[in-house]
Structure 1
């Protein structure tokens, strides 16, 4: 247990219930992480859809000509 933060958290868990700001920060941080992952996922899906449409468009042009 070289990490002092882990040690202090263990002590806090031993001494009693976590304070409201601790809980609030934990919830907010997990929410932010979820939001960032969601945005990243949406960006990937959007890029894939655009690339797919681009590919379909060009292959149909090739088929016509």
Structure 2
């Protein structure tokens, strides 16, 4: 997830907060376009991206 936030900052000139908000908007948009039984998968995917990002940061700092 951090990689996506960084790309939004670099390519769109967004602040970290704006980039995170943009991701939330995109996530909700995608969920709204999917059947309800699949929408939970979007949450899981984004949660997985956040966990991977945190694990990479922990590995780097730890």
With normalisation by structure 1, the TM-score equals 0.41
**Which protein, 1 or 2, shows the higher relative CO under an 8 Å CA cutoff with sep ≥ 6?**
2
Larger radius of gyration: 1
